[in-house]
């Protein structure tokens, strides 16, 4: 039977992402939940394991509501003190806080840089052609939106980079996707992009379906050779053609998007490459 939500006083969101687990999040979670259970405060407070909270450098992290209190470096030793502060004193344990509403900065000195993405560099392809290239990020949180954008399905977005779906499907410069097997599909044949499988994005074309692996995978698993771990964004030296190449951890080819659509390239710079400013003239 579920808890009575109207009786909940405090909700604890325990990060259960990979980095936090590696840093001992599970022992802190167990201590917190055991304390709530054994002190008779279980029914009045709620705890939820979440996926990554996006602060891996501070893990294990907790978020406590109300008040939007973010905790850093939570462990089995300070977990109960954090819980007690909220459920028994109705205030945060400020010495352990990363951030709370009203603060204009975090208490962390090891914040990640705004972007890991490096400037474009000139790169020579195996065919002798030169491209300006940089490496983007390859998580499912990046690649699924990328393929959805290529499809042209952004719902009610009012972004400056929204594409006209019908126009781009009929336009040759919308490009093509080449799979690991070497088969090429034109954008006009793309019907749907789905990410319902835990690991694979499906690109449904009129005559075929291609799958690209973006979800979590054990590094020693045979499937690791299928997972996209390197994503390269490139524009030809004369700025007339663009491509996005996908590779596994060994640098082996897994797929490629080729296009000359300027709006889609602007989207790549702004969204996928975190507002990248090219050192060469943009198209």
Dihedral of the CA atoms 125, 131, 135, 139 (nearest 10)?
-80
Residues of the chain above pLDDT 70, percent: 87
* CATH fold of 121-272: Heme iron utilization protein-like fold (3.40.1570)
pLDDT at position 118, please? 87
pLDDT category at 160 given cuts 50, 70, 90 is: very low
pLDDT given at position 204: 96
pLDDT value at residue 181:
95
Q: Under CATH, what is the fold of the domain 5-99? A: Glutaredoxin (3.40.30)
Predicted pLDDT of residue 275:
85
**214 in Cβ contact with 143 (< 8 Å):** yes
Nearest-angstrom CA–CA distance, 135 and 26: 34
> Which has more confidence, 162 or 193?
193
Q: Where are the domains of the chain?
A: 5-99, 121-272
pLDDT value of residue 218: 77
121-146: per-residue pLDDT in tens?
Answer: 999 988 899 999 999 999 898 999 99
Reported confidence tier of residue 159, pLDDT bands at 50, 70, 90? very low
Average pLDDT, the chain: 88
Gyration radius (Cα) of the chain, Å = 23
Distance between CA atoms of 85 and 32, rounded to whole angstroms? 12
CA dihedral of residues 69, 72, 77, 78 (deg, nearest 10): -30
**DSSP state at residue 243:** E
Rounded distance between C-alpha atoms, residue 180 and residue 245, angstroms: 11
Average confidence (pLDDT) over 157-164: 44
Confidence of residue 157 (pLDDT cuts 50, 70, 90): very low
Segment 16-25 shows an average pLDDT of 90
Q: CA–CA distance from 24 to each of 14, 49, 59, 110 (Å)? A: 12, 14, 9, 19
SS3 252: coil
Q: Cis link prior to 133 (omega < 30° from 0)?
A: no
Query: pLDDT value at position 219?
Result: 75
The predicted structure's pLDDT at residue 1: 58
Average pLDDT over residues 235-264: 95
Strands 62-65 and 242-247, bridge-based pairing: unpaired
CA–CA separation, 145 and 143 (whole Å): 5
């Amino acid at each position: 039977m579920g808890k009575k939500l109207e009786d909940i006083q405090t909700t604890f969101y325990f990060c259960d992402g990979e980095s936090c687990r590696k840093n001992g999040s599970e022992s802190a979670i167990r201590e917190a939940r055991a304390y709530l259970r054994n002190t008779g405060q279980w029914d009045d407070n709620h705890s939820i394991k979440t996926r990554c909270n996006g602060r891996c450098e501070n893990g294990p992290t907790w978020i406590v509501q109300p008040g939007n209190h973010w905790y850093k470096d939570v462990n089995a030793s300070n977990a109960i003190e954090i819980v007690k502060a909220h459920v028994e004193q109705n205030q945060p344990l400020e010495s352990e806080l990363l951030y709370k509403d009203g603060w204009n900065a975090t208490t962390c000195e090891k914040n990640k840089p705004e972007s890991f993405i490096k400037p474009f560099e000139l790169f020579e392809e195996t065919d002798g052609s030169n491209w300006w290239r940089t490496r983007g990020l390859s998580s499912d949180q990046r690649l699924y939106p990328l393929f959805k954008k290529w499809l042209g399905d952004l719902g009610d977005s009012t972004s400056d980079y929204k594409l006209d779906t019908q126009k781009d499907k009929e336009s040759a410069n919308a490009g093509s996707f080449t799979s690991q097997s070497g088969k090429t599909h034109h954008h006009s044949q793309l019907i749907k992009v789905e990410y319902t499988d835990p690991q694979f994005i499906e690109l449904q074309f009129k005559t075929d379906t291609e799958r690209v692996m973006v979800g979590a995978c054990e590094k020693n698993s045979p499937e690791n050779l299928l997972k996209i771990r390197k994503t390269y964004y490139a524009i030809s030296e004369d700025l007339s053609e663009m491509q996005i190449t996908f590779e596994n951890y060994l640098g082996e080819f897994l797929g490629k998007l080729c296009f000359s659509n300027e709006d889609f390239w602007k989207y790549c710079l702004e969204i996928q490459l975190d507002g990248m400013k090219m050192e060469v003239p943009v198209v």
